[in-house]
Structure 1
C-alpha cells in the first residue's frame, strides 16, 4: 500500500523558493506555536464503551475505520473536511479531526486493541511545512501531536506512516468501512489481492463489510448520555439561528433573493455557535415550500408568504439538530394558512403522544397519517373517506405528504441509515433513541384536486424527539410551534 499522493496543486504556477539558503532560513528560528494539550475529553469513556460493543460483534477480526479524505470541490480546492460519522462515533474526534486519519482495532485474544493513526506534525525544517499547500502546516495550520491526541481521546496513537506495517498481515477477514476512504480501501484490497471482507457472505447484506456498516449504524440507534447532551446543544444553537432569521425579516423581504438571506443568516449562526449546518438549509417561501428539498433558495420572499425553514446546526462534535418551522413573514397567518398549519400541528402532536419505549417505530408515521387523511377528507380533497384512503392499496392523502414522518437523528441528519429494517422501520422504540417527527401538507400551485385558495401552501413542522424511560421529550419544544406562539414570536422580534 502507498500513501495518497500530495499535494494536488500543480507545479506550473508554484513560486515557492527552492534555494538551499531559503530552505535553511525558513527552517530556523521558530518558537513553539502549538496549543497546550487539553485534559481528557468527557467523550473518551463513552467511545471506549462503543468500541467494546463493536469488538464483541466481530471477535478475531481486524477492523479498519478511516476518517476519510477531503473531497474536491473544484480542481485543487476542497470542501471543508468532515470525518466519516463512524470514525467520529468510535473516536470522539469531531471538527478537529486530522484529514486521512484511520482507526484500527486489532484482535488481542480477548477483544481488540485500538490505535488511532494520523499524520503527526512535520518539522519546521521539512519542505512539507511550507511547500505543501494540501497538508503543510504553513498553509492549513498546526496538527496536534500524537501524545496530545492520545491524552485527550484516551486512545493509543501512531503516525500515519506506520499504518502500512500495522496492516501488513491484513487478509480476507479484515473489515473496513469501504465508503469512508475509497483510496484507502482500494489500497487494502490490492494488498490482500481481493476485496477484503468478501470471503464470507451474509444472507441479508451480501458481504461482511456490509455487516460492519450495518453494525456501526445499529450501534448508534440508542444514544448515550454524552450524545444526548450534544444534541441538546445543537437544538439550542438552532433555536438561536431561527431567532436570527426572524430578526432579519425586513432584509429578507427587501432582497430579490430573500430566501438566500434566510439561508445566510442561519448559516452564520451555525458557524458561530457550531461547526457548520448539518445539511443544506431549506428556505422555501410561497409555493417553493411544496418542493420538499428546496435548497436553491433563490426566490423572493413576499409579504403574506409562508416560509418553510428546515435547518439544523451541527456542533463541533458533529451531532446535528434537524428542525422545521413554517412562519408567516408578515407576522400573521391567513385563515387558510392557519387551517393547514393547525392540521399539521395536530398530526405532529398525535404522533408525539404515542412515543414511548415498546411501540413500533413505524407506528409514529401511521398515527400522523391518520390525522392527515382525516383532515384532507374533511376538506373534501379525497375521492373517498379517510378510512378508505388509509387502506394500503389507496393512500389518496399521501398525494399531499409523500415523505415519511420520522427518521433517526445524531451524527447524520438521517442517522443509522444502514440499520436493518427490523431494527429501524419495523424496530421497537427504546429509551435513548432520538428521532424527528415532521408531518406536513403540501398543496402544489397547479394541483387541481384542491381549491385555489389552498394551492401553493406548504407547511411542515419538525421537532427532535428523545425517547425517555416512560415516554418522550420534545428537545425542540422551546422553539415556538403553535400558530399563536409563532405569531407572538415574530411580534417580539
Structure 2
C-alpha cells in the first residue's frame, strides 16, 4: 500500500523542526535528454520525493518555518496545459499540488524568480544544495544577494547559505513503519525474481535472457522496473564487480552471479545477490568458496543489531572470510596480520554493505568524525560479502600464488536487513541461499 499523504506531512513537520529559522529550497529533478529530443524515463529527486510525494519534473518546493501557518509549504509546479499534456501526459497543476499533495500554496513554475525573494525574506538562513541545480541556483543566490544588499537599511538578512542534506539525510536514514512495509514489498518482488532466474538458467542461454526473466517479473508485479543495472554474470564475468554487459553465453560448469532488485513506483528498492551453478551442481572448489561466503554472510547478518555499527558488520564478514581462505590455502599467515595489512583484498575488495531505501546506495552517514554511527531501529542495510578469484589484481607479496582450479570463480551473497528494536529482520530471506537449494 502506498505511503499516505499524512506520512509526508509528518516528515515535513520533522524537517521544519530541524530547520529552525532557516528556509529550505528543494528543486525536483529535471528531465534528462537521452539522445536528440528523447528523454530518459523520469526519476524524481529522492530528497524532494521524501518530503512531497510529487512525481513531476522541474518543480520547486519551499519549506518556510519562519512564515505564518498556511504559508510554510509552497510548491512551484508546471501548470495544467492541455497542449503540453496531450504530448507528455497528465499534470496535477497548482490546484492538484494543494488538493492532492498538501501544499499550503502553489504557483506556476514560471513565477519562481518573481516570488522567491519575498518568500525567503525574514529567514535566518537559506538551506540549498549548491552545485546541483543549475536552473534554480542563480535565483536563490540572487534572492540572497538582494537581502544582503538591503541588510544595512533593513537590519535583517539570511545569515548564511547551508546545505539541507545533513538534516534531511539524518531523517531518511531511519525508516518509518510505512517505509519498511514498502521495502518488504520491494524485497518480495525481488526475491521472487531471483527464484525464477534460478529455475530458467541453464547452459547455452545468454545472460541477457535471464535478465529478461528477472525484469519481466518486476514489471508484472507492478514495480517501476529495475532499481539499478542488473548484473547477470556467468563464470569469470562475476569477478567484475559492476559487470552489466549481460551478453555472454552461460557455460556448463560455471557459476552465475545475479545482482538485481526492483524499484517500486514510490522508489523504494530491493537489492539482492545470489550465486549458483548453471548446470545445477557445484564443483568442489565452487562449493568450498560458496560455503565460505555463505558462512561470512550469515555471521554478518547475525551481527546486525542496535548498538552495532556497519563497520562492525563488515569486520565480522572479513574475519570469517580470511580464516576460511587461510584454511583453503588461498591466504597464508596470521589472521590479524592479514586483515591489518589488507592482504586479502585481491580476493575481497569491497565493503560488506550499504544503506538501502529510496536510493539503492542510500543516504546517511556511516561515521561522524572518528566515531562510527551506531545502528538504530529503522535503519536498513545490505549485507553482501563475496570472493572474486582472478588474475585482475596482483597477489600481495608473501601470499600464495592462485592455482588455476580456483580462477574464474566469483561469488557474492546479499540480503537486505532492517535493524529492529532488539535484533534484525532479513527482508529478503525468501530468496533461498542454502547450498542444497542452489543445486538441482
Give the shorter-chain TM-score range. Answer: 0.7 to 0.9
Question: What is the CA-CA distance between 1:382 and the residue it aligns to?
Answer: 2.1
Is the 8 Å Cα contact of residues 103 and 115 (structure 1) preserved in structure 2?
A: yes
Question: What is the CA-CA distance between 1:92 and the residue it aligns to?
Answer: 2.3
Query: RMSD value over aligned CA atoms?
Result: 2.7
TM-score by length of 2: 0.88
Partner of 1:454: 406
Q: Deviations for 1:374-398, whole angstroms, at most 9, x for unmatched residues?
A: 011111222412232122xx12122
Partner of 1:267: 215
After superposition, where does 1:210-289 map in structure 2 within 5 Å? 212-250=164-202, 253-255=203-205, 258-272=206-220, 273-289=222-238
Which of 377, 387, 395 is the equivalent residue of 1:431?
377
Partner of 1:99: 57
SS at match of 1:65: strand
Partner of 1:45: 6
Distance 2:267 2:324 in 1: 38
- Structure 1 position 118 matched with structure 2 position 77: yes
- Structure 1 position 405 matched with structure 2 position 352: yes
Partner of 1:37: none
Is the 8 Å Cα contact of residues 43 and 153 (structure 1) preserved in structure 2?
A: no
Distance 1:187 1:154 in 2: 25
Partner of 2:298: 349
- Structure 1 position 375 matched with structure 2 position 324: yes
Distance 1:425 1:81 in 2: 38
- Structure 1 position 295 matched with structure 2 position 249: no
Partner of 2:22: 61
Is the 8 Å Cα contact of residues 290 and 442 (structure 1) preserved in structure 2?
A: yes
Question: What is the CA-CA distance between 1:290 and the residue it aligns to?
Answer: 0.6
Question: What is the CA-CA distance between 1:82 and the residue it aligns to?
Answer: 0.6
Partner of 2:32: 71
Q: 1:177 to 1:44 in 2, by over 3 A?
A: farther
Q: 1:245 to 1:395 in 2, by over 3 A?
A: same
Distance 1:62 1:372 in 2: 49
Distance 1:472 1:424 in 2: 25
TM-score by length of 1: 0.79
What are structure 2's unaligned runs of at least 5 residues?
149-157, 396-400
Which of 142, 147, 161 is the equivalent residue of 2:110?
161
Which of 273, 287, 292 is the equivalent residue of 1:338?
287
Distance 1:407 1:425 in 2: 17
Question: What is the CA-CA distance between 1:101 and the residue it aligns to?
Answer: 1.4
Which of 224, 230, 253 is the equivalent residue of 1:304?
253
Q: 1:459 to 1:200 in 2, by over 3 A?
A: farther
Distance 2:371 2:384 in 1: 15
Q: Which moved more, 1:294-303 or 1:453-462?
A: 294-303
Number of paired residues?
420
Question: What is the CA-CA distance between 1:305 and the residue it aligns to?
Answer: 1.4
Distance 2:48 2:383 in 1: 27
SS at match of 2:16: helix
Is the 8 Å Cα contact of residues 253 and 278 (structure 2) preserved in structure 1?
A: yes
Question: What is the CA-CA distance between 1:143 and the residue it aligns to?
Answer: 1.4
What are structure 1's unaligned runs of at least 5 residues?
1-39, 130-135, 202-206
Question: What is the CA-CA distance between 1:78 and the residue it aligns to?
Answer: 1.2
Is the 8 Å Cα contact of residues 218 and 423 (structure 1) preserved in structure 2?
A: no
Question: What is the CA-CA distance between 1:269 and the residue it aligns to?
Answer: 2.5
Is the 8 Å Cα contact of residues 62 and 105 (structure 1) preserved in structure 2?
A: yes
Q: 1:423 to 1:358 in 2, by over 3 A?
A: farther
Q: 1:385 to 1:223 in 2, by over 3 A?
A: same
Is the 8 Å Cα contact of residues 128 and 162 (structure 2) preserved in structure 1?
A: no
Q: 1:213 to 1:397 in 2, by over 3 A?
A: same
Distance 1:49 1:137 in 2: 32
Question: What is the CA-CA distance between 1:294 and the residue it aligns to?
Answer: 0.7
